Amino acid sequence: MNPNPFKKCDGCGVILMATLFVHGVCPECEHHHSIGHKAWLDLLLDEGSFAAWDDKLTPTDPLNFVDDVAYPARLASAQKKTGLLDAIVSGRGNIEGRAVVYTASAFEFMGGSMGSVVGEVITRAFEHAVTHSLPIVLLSASGGARMQEGILSLMQMAKTVAARERLRDAKLPFISVLRHATFGGVAASFALQGDIHLAEPKALIGFAGPRVIEQTIGQTLPEGFQRSEFLVEHGMVDRIVHRHRLKGEIATILRLLGR
């Protein structure tokens, strides 16, 4: 049970009963707050339709990486907090009765960062889609490649894109849903390789963050740079969809595509 029955909106600052933030959306300003992997399942998939795939893969520590905390300790903490073995959920489910491969980043697990396990699960998700002749709906929210796995995490970029190309060869749809925030190696690989890109309102999407870019080039960026609204105007995103309408929007797209 949530010990605090009230919630303050990060967008407009209003304080309301937490139960009024349906699916994490502020009822006053419609600011979209982060929600966890279970809430996303409940939001998008038909009740009782989800069957997980590849949820027993466990990350290792090939580099014996230590920063403030050893990597195995970070993993153990994230696993205890989320109930997941890594920052990804994948399986088969239904969206308004239509079967899909459903894969989603879990941002609450080390910022949704992509290491070897996340890359492997995403690769297998594309392969499952090909094997079962299903469309794939993939929700991204990530800070990028996981530094604790070094070059092994960066290798996942090429690996996932190669798997995505096999899906393209099979002529199966890939709907990419870009959540706040989607950055780094995830944005630079599979997340922006969809057939259709849907984004949440005001989501930050890009490779390097705006502050890093400004410091690097020594210039002030345009207002709203890297927000989903900016990306729609510049052709990087097809459509911005309110979270409450996302399931219906995806179902409509699948129906129009004959899936």
* Per-residue pLDDT, 259: 82
* Per-residue pLDDT, 244: 97
Average pLDDT value for the chain: 96
Distance of alpha carbon 259 from alpha carbon 252, whole angstroms: 10
Termini Cα distance of the chain: 39
* Per-residue pLDDT, 210: 84
Could you tell me the two tokens for 52?
């997980």
Please give the sequence-ordered ranges of beta strands (E in DSSP) within the chain, or none if there are none.
6-8, 15-17, 51-52, 88-95, 98-105, 136-142, 174-182, 196-199, 239-240
Of 130, 202, 188, 134, nearest to 164 (Cα)? 130
What mean pLDDT comes out for the span 151-173? 97
What mean pLDDT comes out for the span 229-252? 97
* Per-residue pLDDT, 2: 54
Long-range Cβ contacts of 2-7 (<8 Å, 24+ apart)? none
Distance of alpha carbon 164 from alpha carbon 33, whole angstroms: 29
Read off the pLDDT of residues 189-219 as tens digits, 9 standing for 90 and up: 999 999 999 999 999 999 998 888 999 999 9
Query: Where are the domains positioned within the chain?
Result: 1-33, 35-256
**Under CATH, which architecture does the 35-256 domain have?**
Alpha-Beta Complex (3.90)
